Structure 1
Amino acid sequence: MPTSLAIQELRVSQLVALFPGGDPGYFRSCLAYYETDHVQRIAEKILANGGNYPMVQTNYTDIQQMNYALRVLATELFPDCHIAYLREQLLQYDHSHIEQVTEAVVAVPGPERLTWGKIDRSDFIRDETYKADALAQLTLDYPQIWKSSLRAVLAENNWDYLNSHAQLADMGSGGFWNSIRNFFLHWTFSRRGSTSSSSSSSSSETHELSDPDLIDEISQLWRRKAEAQSGEDEKMAHQINEAEYTVCEQLITCLCCYGDYTFEQLAFCSEGDHAFCHSCIRRFITEGLFGQGALRGAARIGCISFSGCRGCLPPRMLQHVLPQDLWMAYETSVFEENLKQTPGSIVQCAGCSYSEIDESTRPFAEALERVEPLLRITRWMMVVATIVFSFFDLPFAFVIALHCFVLSQWDLRRDLQTVYDRIVRERRGNAFQCRNPACNKLTCLQCMRTIRGLHKCWEKEQDGLRLYVEKAMADAVKRTCPMCNLSFQKSDGCNKIVCRCESYSHFCDHFRDVPGAPCDKCKKCDLYKTDPEDEAVQKAAARARKEYLHNHPDVAIQVPQTTRMVIGPLSALEKFDLWREESILWVLQYGIQLMV
């Protein structure tokens, strides 16, 4: 008689056959909601939902499916969320990992991480085979450490073999653990126990690894050890070589610092007449790039001797002598200098110097040159029309002249720039993907900042401006006592309000012959006169916006004029002005789209 687990797996296989590519974990969770006719009722439910159901890669294992979901979550959906938090959330669900983790992280955001948008191989989820092989291999590598301690180190490093091996190596082959274990081995264990321990250790050396990822990591570890040993051998060879040069008195003098070095420690100019040590060349390039800046963008670096040599420092020699970061900084400066001389629009990553030439649209200056003749002809035609109609119909000529005056006050260049930016965004998109493997960041093409998760252009600048203007608008309708700083707002009635300290009493109580006339006995506020609040609020908002942009010129540059910030309700005149502006931009956009 088949067990309940076998019956459940049979039903899951039937559902997978009915819905190819479906997630078995999703089907298992659906089976728990029904008591009879499981397959039929689940199939009807899926068809009622339009035939939509979670799908998985059929050639992936469960661990591979979870690692794929973790990669999508960590690099695309939540590139600024800590990977450990995403991995913890991922392990809580049996199916639909991306959807369920997304809902959980949106509801409760996780901690941020420093390495934005990147995921390392050590961050992925490991299967049980890898964990067992990693523990067995570390037991062979560090036999003096207890297995429970090895298991704790592995758990601390997400069961990654390379990171765990490096951590144990930094501890000094066991360190304190080694001393304690040797103490007990010497004083407590008998010879028989030691023999059995050594025999078990030797028998464990026959353990065969079956996980391909762990085998590859062990190969990487051996390559690292070989490279480290090669570096030590090279260092020893240089020391022996320098000693032989010194004994034979064959050391060569550097023409910059006048120190004595071996031939391998020197670099020569392209003419081969002047020798310089590697330290002098590094200091010279560092000063030229980050000090005075004379070498920034220099495609040819001349010989640094004082004899007027016409040679140069060959790029191949510089690449061999300079450290990797210094050589990359020099290449970046040359690339940026050549980029400035490239005609056309350039799209650059906000995180590095990676750039691409934008061939989707012509440059704005070139497009403006095409539009200028048409605008000049239009202005002359309007002037001619005004002169002609002035002889026949004077009122109509006055209307045309007024229209020409309005057009002369029109900032056409700003609107053309706005329209050009819209066309560029339609053709090029709103984001730029960096193809530099070391960067691989996403740049917003509107504010030229790195996109991290849910992005909003000029968010900080607009928030500061918005809060300042909103505070000014609120203060415009509030009254504050100068003594106790109590703020209040009148809803109806007269202006007389008594605060808790009874100091807010600056209203005029004198009798007036003409109601509404100013008082001739004092300059206090009117008791019953009320200024329109809407007008006061709008004036306060305009004044606050002007003050904020004046005190923060960087914000005025970063927040474009085309970004309309709406604070408070729009009046009918503002709505009409907004409609007029959008209509003009719409006409210009469809007219200029053919020219760029």
Structure 2
Amino acid sequence: TLDKEHVQQLLALFPKGDPEYFYACLQYYKQDPVERITEKILDRGGYYPQLPVQKKGDNRLNACLSILALDLFPDCDVSYLRERVLQYSYAHIEQVVDAILSTGKYPERLEYGKMDPSEGIRSEKYKSQAQLQLIQDYPQIWKSSVRAVLAENNWDYIKCYDHLKEMGSNGFWNTIRNFFFYWSSTPSHHTKLTVTDPDLLDQLNQLQQHAVRKQVEKDRQLAVQLNLTEYTDQQQLITCDCCYSDESFEQLVFCSEGQHAFCHRCVTHYMSEGLFGQGTLRSQPRIHCISMDECTGYFGQNTLRHLLSDDIWKAYESSLLEEGVRAEQQVLCCACPYFELDESTKPLEWVYTNRVLKTMARWMMWDIQQDLEIAYGRVTKSRRGSLFQCKNPTCKTLTCLTCRRPVRGAHTCWEKESDGLRLYVEKAMADAVKRTCPNCFLSFQKSDGCNKIACPCGYKMCYVCRKDIGKESYDHFCSHFRAIPGSKCNACNKCDLYKTEPENEAVQKAADRAKRQYIQAHPEIASSDMLIGPASAMDKLGDWKQQTTLWILEKGLNLIV
């Protein structure tokens, strides 16, 4: 009780403080604990562990985990952070950060900056009620099995519900057995459980809404089928003007003129191809009728919104938005269509209108456009920074503006291309020593054994000279005795039965050739400090002139744009 009074006094002085932290501090001070703890906090610059901002119905451990997983370590595995948080009784954020920074290593997660609600820390109230609810939902499954499934799935009710549903669906005979084993005239699980935890109530509502949507979709499909059957019986089907299939009226879309009808499949395919394929429909405010006749009609926006899937409709809306914004002013997310307008830099075309600059470039025979573009790129990069945080609530990806890749942990630009170079070279090295069956085109490489290769298709070939030896078999190989095994035969020129020529030289040549080809196709991964030298004095002078010119242009553009 005395400690409780002291904690209340400390909370009055530091209202945002962590009570568990204050309880831990009281163990070190027997006399005047409040004064001494207050003095210690003030000596540390007024810093003390505070309670994180909690959402309604949430617990403080989960609030700490959210800060660690979304703000401080967005690339760290959530389960690793969760285990760390549960190790401490107070100042969870501070102690977890100290522990991670002291080791310097942690497992990474695949989804950068994202945390699924099922990965959170559940309260004891939630765990207890979730277990009772699952036992009531699946009375035929042992209670110990329910608890084990909960432990495996971080006590998340929805995940466990689906998991137990799969476990419970073991066929007709298992259903009959469970009926006789678990049926009772007054079963205890018929008593409705009172759920008070807000998170569990929300998940129960999600399951209910999912069941309703699933039933509505089943009813819709049944209605469509019955409607199609009725149209067929009455011979009232309407032909699509694109694929010429017969459909009911409800499964057709009409142009604004009302003269042409198209089925949902054709319109969806047309929009998908126009946006993601040929791109002819991007930034088109009106989608015209796709009839072969000269029709002035079009498809209405409401019609397309109702017909198209969410991803296709969002892509169409994004294309309309991009049309009104200059490409160089867009700061794009690499994972979704979200972008922001960069108004910190004026368009480069505004600089081209400067007559003095154009006249000077003409007199100096200076290709100013290329140098201006390089300098303008440096200015925009310095103003925008190197990273872009997507504000799309379903994405939130951190994009590197240099290599246009998601930033995860210790980011290295062009890391993917570097891996591609490695894989491309490794494939070329393997291709240099592999053999391919001309009959079934199966590729293989011999690790040991003789040089007579039998393909699964029945084709037989020599591994050394690749000749078809289906008829001559082992007669193709040298059978003369040699005093020194592996030495060249002086009696014939046949292939050796076991020996193969060294492949190191062929592998190295293939690797060098593949590396040159890949760097030519991906010049962005070539190191900027790679020089072909030694450079002459004229080369050094030209490079100095180029860099000086770009520096002057960059400083000038920084003032103009």
Q: TM-score, normalised by structure 1?
A: 0.65
Farther-moved stretch of structure 1 (440-449 vs 33-42):
33-42
Say if 2:390 is the partner of 1:434: yes
What is the alpha-carbon distance in structure 2 between the residues aligned to residue 79 and residue 416 of structure 1?
38
2:150 to 154, 165, 175: 154
Query: How many Å apart are 1:50 and its aligned residue?
Result: 2.3
What is the alpha-carbon distance in structure 1 between the residues aligned to residue 125 and residue 153 of structure 2?
17
Which residue does 2:519 correspond to in 1? 552
Query: Are the equivalent residues in 2 in contact too, given 1:142–1:174 (CA < 8 A)?
Result: no
* Runs (5+) with no aligned partner, structure 1: 1-5, 187-193, 381-407, 466-546, 567-576
- The aligned amino acid for 1:156 is E
Which residue does 1:452 correspond to in 2? 408
Q: Aligned runs of 1:475-486 on 2, under 5 Å?
A: none
What is the alpha-carbon distance in structure 2 between the residues aligned to residue 379 and residue 228 of structure 1?
70
Which residue does 2:341 correspond to in 1? 357
Which residue does 2:117 correspond to in 1? 121
What is the alpha-carbon distance in structure 2 between the residues aligned to residue 7 and residue 554 of structure 1?
74
CA 17–324 in structure 1, closer or farther in 2 if over 3 Å, else same = closer
Deviations for 1:489-527, whole angstroms, at most 9, x for unmatched residues? xxxxxxxxxxxxxxxxxxxxxxxxxxxxxxxxxxxxxxx
Which residue does 2:189 correspond to in 1? 201
Query: Are the equivalent residues in 2 in contact too, given 1:461–1:559 (CA < 8 A)?
Result: no
Which residue does 2:24 correspond to in 1? 29
Q: Matched residue of 1:148: which SS? A: helix
- The aligned amino acid for 1:232 is K
Which residue does 1:71 correspond to in 2? 66
- The aligned amino acid for 1:593 is N
* Runs (5+) with no aligned partner, structure 2: 422-513, 532-541
2:77 to 57, 67, 82: 82
Which residue does 1:112 correspond to in 2? 108
- The aligned amino acid for 2:188 is S
CA 98–458 in structure 1, closer or farther in 2 if over 3 Å, else same = farther
Say if 2:323 is the partner of 1:367: no
Query: How many Å apart are 1:58 and its aligned residue?
Result: 7.8
Q: Matched residue of 1:119: which SS? A: coil
What is the alpha-carbon distance in structure 2 between the residues aligned to residue 232 and residue 256 of structure 1?
28
Query: How many Å apart are 1:362 and its aligned residue?
Result: 0.9
Deviations for 1:398-448, whole angstroms, at most 9, x for unmatched residues? xxxxxxxxxx79998777666545543454343322222222212233443
User: Aligned residues: percent identity?
Assistant: 47
CA 346–13 in structure 1, closer or farther in 2 if over 3 Å, else same = same
Which residue does 2:45 correspond to in 1? 50
CA 104–458 in structure 1, closer or farther in 2 if over 3 Å, else same = farther
Query: How many Å apart are 1:263 and its aligned residue?
Result: 0.9
Which residue does 1:240 correspond to in 2? 226
Q: Matched residue of 2:405: which SS? A: coil
Query: Are the equivalent residues in 1 in contact too, given 2:59–2:123 (CA < 8 A)?
Result: no
What is the alpha-carbon distance in structure 1 between the residues aligned to residue 143 and residue 393 of structure 2?
39
Q: Aligned runs of 1:234-273 on 2, under 5 Å?
A: 234-273=220-259
- The aligned amino acid for 1:453 is G
What is the alpha-carbon distance in structure 2 between the residues aligned to residue 28 and residue 184 of structure 1?
52
CA 208–183 in structure 1, closer or farther in 2 if over 3 Å, else same = closer
Q: Aligned runs of 1:163-242 on 2, under 5 Å?
A: 163-172=159-168, 181-182=178-179, 184-185=181-182, 194=184, 198-202=186-190, 204-205=191-192, 207-242=193-228
CA 330–409 in structure 1, closer or farther in 2 if over 3 Å, else same = closer
Q: Matched residue of 1:436: which SS? A: coil
Query: Are the equivalent residues in 2 in contact too, given 1:462–1:559 (CA < 8 A)?
Result: no
Q: Matched residue of 1:593: which SS? A: helix
What is the alpha-carbon distance in structure 1 between the residues aligned to residue 31 and residue 543 of structure 2?
62
CA 352–181 in structure 1, closer or farther in 2 if over 3 Å, else same = same
What is the alpha-carbon distance in structure 1 between the residues aligned to residue 307 and residue 358 of structure 2?
59
Q: Aligned runs of 1:387-426 on 2, under 5 Å?
A: 420-421=376-377, 423-426=379-382
Query: How many Å apart are 1:127 and its aligned residue?
Result: 0.9
What is the alpha-carbon distance in structure 2 between the residues aligned to residue 578 and residue 13 of structure 1?
71
Deviations for 1:290-309, whole angstroms, at most 9, x for unmatched residues? 55544444443332323322
Query: Are the equivalent residues in 1 in contact too, given 2:352–2:358 (CA < 8 A)?
Result: no
Query: How many Å apart are 1:149 and its aligned residue?
Result: 1.9
CA 156–179 in structure 1, closer or farther in 2 if over 3 Å, else same = farther
CA 272–559 in structure 1, closer or farther in 2 if over 3 Å, else same = same
Query: How many Å apart are 1:76 and its aligned residue?
Result: 2.6
Say if 2:111 is the partner of 1:144: no
RMSD between superposed Cα atoms in Å = 4.1
Deviations for 1:371-401, whole angstroms, at most 9, x for unmatched residues? x725956998xxxxxxxxxxxxxxxxxxxxx
Query: Are the equivalent residues in 1 in contact too, given 2:274–2:280 (CA < 8 A)?
Result: yes
Query: Are the equivalent residues in 2 in contact too, given 1:269–1:311 (CA < 8 A)?
Result: yes
What is the alpha-carbon distance in structure 1 between the residues aligned to residue 165 and residue 147 of structure 2?
15
Which residue does 1:15 correspond to in 2? 10
What is the alpha-carbon distance in structure 2 between the residues aligned to residue 260 and residue 62 of structure 1?
54
Query: How many Å apart are 1:38 and its aligned residue?
Result: 4.0
Query: Are the equivalent residues in 1 in contact too, given 2:11–2:19 (CA < 8 A)?
Result: yes
- The aligned amino acid for 2:344 is S
Q: TM-score, normalised by structure 2?
A: 0.69
CA 212–356 in structure 1, closer or farther in 2 if over 3 Å, else same = same
Query: Are the equivalent residues in 1 in contact too, given 2:254–2:262 (CA < 8 A)?
Result: yes
What is the alpha-carbon distance in structure 1 between the residues aligned to residue 279 and residue 266 of structure 2?
17
- The aligned amino acid for 2:559 is L
Query: Are the equivalent residues in 2 in contact too, given 1:344–1:357 (CA < 8 A)?
Result: no
Say if 2:551 is the partner of 1:595: no
What is the alpha-carbon distance in structure 2 between the residues aligned to residue 132 and residue 312 of structure 1?
58
What is the alpha-carbon distance in structure 2 between the residues aligned to residue 439 and residue 311 of structure 1?
37
What is the alpha-carbon distance in structure 2 between the residues aligned to residue 61 and residue 275 of structure 1?
51
1:345 to 316, 320, 329: 329
1:321 to 292, 307, 311: 307
